[in-house]
């Protein structure tokens, strides 16, 4: 049965391992991923949200699929190196 409901103040973030995280709309992806950092052998430096790469400060406004990017991956290592270059310049 279809019903009209009020908007949900929370948003869900779906991870590849089947976990689903829920938090208020506008929560930064880094805050979501801090809860699962222990599941990764290297620090998470970015995230692929709905097939687009974003920094950890990106706010989640809609239900999304998320693939964390850790320093262990080639993309993660490249992001980390590039960040260091900006800091050292």
In the chain, where are the structural domains located? 10-88
| Single pTM value for the model | 0.86
Residue 60 is predicted with a pLDDT of: 98
Tell me the C-alpha distance between 23 and 33, whole Å.
11
Tell me the C-alpha distance between 43 and 71, whole Å.
6
Residue 34 is predicted with a pLDDT of: 97
Q: What fold characterizes domain 10-88? A: Ubiquitin-like (UB roll) (3.10.20)
Residue 39 is predicted with a pLDDT of: 93
51 φψ region: left (φ > 0), alpha (ψ -120 to 50), beta (else)? left
> Is 75 within 8 Å of 48 (Cβ atoms)?
no
CA-CA-CA-CA dihedral for 33, 11, 25, 60, to nearest 10: 50
């Amino acid at each position: 049965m279809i019903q009209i409901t009020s908007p949900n103040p929370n948003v869900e973030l779906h991870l590849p391992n089947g976990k689903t995280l829920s938090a208020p709309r506008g929560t930064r992806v880094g805050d979501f991923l801090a809860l699962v950092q222990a599941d990764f052998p290297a620090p998470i430096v970015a995230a692929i949200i709905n097939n687009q790469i974003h920094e950890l400060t990106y706010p989640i406004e809609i239900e999304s699929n998320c693939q964390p990017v850790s320093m262990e991956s080639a993309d993660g290592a490249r992001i980390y190196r590039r960040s260091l270059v900006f800091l050292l310049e």
